[in-house]
Amino acid sequence: MSHARATHLTRRGLLAAGGALGLGAALAACGDDKGKDGGSGGSAGTSKSGPWSFKDDRGTTVKLDKVPANIVAFTGVGAALYDYGIQVKGVFGPTKTSDGKPDVQAGDMDISKVTVLGNAWGQFNIEKYASLAPDVLITTIFDDAGTLWYVPDESKKKIGQLAPSVGISVYDRQLTQPLQRMWDLAESLGADMKAAKVTDAKKRFEDAAARLRAAAKAKPDIKVLAGSASDQLFYVSGSNLSIDLEYFKSLGVNLVEPPESAKKQGGGWYESLSWENVDKYDADIIMMDDRSQAIQPADITKATWKKLPAVKAGQVIPRSPEPILSYDKCVPLLTNLAEALEKAKKVS
């Protein structure tokens, strides 16, 4: 078995375990292709004309006679493109919460204006996808094998026959790299990258990065732990592989790093701890997975959690393990951590 394939299988296991990505055990089950979610389709809204091509992070170049108008994307990708003025027609991935509200990964998208092909792992309604007459499918990549995120293995061939795909890698690199790749993609699709909204967001991101670097330098002894909660286990993410944590580390943030041996079962992404051992690592700030699939800090009832020094000190903040790749949406990731560091007291 090749290393790439082994990584992919481990990734599926990670999803089933609800590990570093906090997706929960429900993701292990393959969903029903006949999802009930839907909406009215949008369009790319681009004024760009002529042939279109884009080389993705698999090294695959997609060439079309015209700029894609009917775009289908993973929800987080659709949210990023929306911030750049590109409206996708359909999405797949966490889009609606159980009460019908937009999922955190939907960003500012009006989810009533997109067709939802699937709302959970394994769900992808091929019939709905075909009805959208897709020009291109765009999603992220979380491994070194080029596996398209949230495109089900069992139906990927059928899906691939309907439209070419573009993959943006968010694996083992710093946040700034996929941010730039999404910028390039949006620009190729006709987005106005000189618009004040866009350039202002990039400047705010750069300022936020400088603030976080300064905060980390001023508080080098403050330990930051990245965690995710499920009913049975607490997951401690390593600083390698994840785009946000790798970037925070490059800015000087003192991140808790489980040893490689402890992260082995999590494919190198995370260590699984029982709630009885949740205090294994000293931490002054805990960043918790903010997505709907993970148990949120306010809902954690475990006594061992409540006894943690960082929890008792109120030094728990949200983390987005799957950032929406627009500068606008990534600014809070930096400012929230910077503010937490500036205010943090040494409690470990």
Query: Taking the CB of residue 74, how many other CB atoms lie within 10 A of it?
Result: 26
- What pLDDT shows up at residue 338? 98
Which residue, chain included where needed, has tokens 């769900």?
123
d(CA 339, CA 211): 9
Kindly state the average pLDDT of the residues 109-129.
97
- What pLDDT shows up at residue 9? 35
Per-residue pLDDT reduced to its tens digit, 284-342: 999 999 998 899 999 999 999 999 999 999 999 999 999 999 999 999 999 999 999 99
What pTM, to 2 d.p., does this model score? 0.88
| Position with higher pLDDT, 58 vs 44 | 58
* Structure confidence at residue 49 as a pLDDT band (50, 70, 90): confident
Beta bridge partners of 139: 167
Mean of all residue pLDDT scores within the chain: 89
Backbone phi, psi, residue 275, to 5°: -65, -25
d(CA 260, CA 296): 27
Q: Check pLDDT > 90 for residue 132.
A: yes
The set of residues, in sequence order, having a beta carbon less than 8 Å from that of 347 and lying 6+ positions away, is: 284, 309, 310, 312, 313, 315
Strands (E), 154-222: 165-169
Kindly state the average pLDDT of the residues 3-9.
35
Strands 233-237 and 270-274: antiparallel
How many Cα atoms occupy the beta-carbon half-sphere of 254 within 13 Å? 19
Which two three-digit tokens encode residue 327? Answer: 């500068």
d(CA 68, CA 318): 35
Which is nearest to 128 in space by CA: 75, 91, 176, 168? 91
Q: At what angle do helices 75-83 and 327-343 cross, to 10 degrees?
A: 100
Q: Check pLDDT > 70 for residue 1.
A: no
Amino acid residing at 236: V
Per-residue pLDDT reduced to its tens digit, 64-77: 999 999 999 999 99
| Position with higher pLDDT, 33 vs 312 | 312
Q: Check pLDDT > 90 for residue 80.
A: yes
User: For 14-23, 145-154, 215-224, 305-314, which range has the lowest pLDDT when averaged over its residues?
Assistant: 14-23
The set of residues, in sequence order, having a beta carbon less than 8 Å from that of 265 and lying 6+ positions away, is: 272
Q: Which long-range contacts (CB under 8 A, 24 or more apart) does 58-67 make?
A: 58/141, 58/146, 58/167, 58/169, 60/165, 60/166, 60/167, 62/136, 62/164, 62/165, 62/166, 64/135, 64/136, 64/164, 67/188, 67/189, 67/190
Which two three-digit tokens encode residue 322? Answer: 């799957």
How many Cα atoms occupy the beta-carbon half-sphere of 84 within 13 Å? 30
Which two three-digit tokens encode residue 40? Answer: 């009215």
Per-residue pLDDT reduced to its tens digit, 160-214: 999 999 999 999 999 999 999 999 999 999 999 999 999 999 999 999 999 999 9
Which two three-digit tokens encode residue 304? Answer: 């061992």
Which two three-digit tokens encode residue 178? Answer: 């996929």
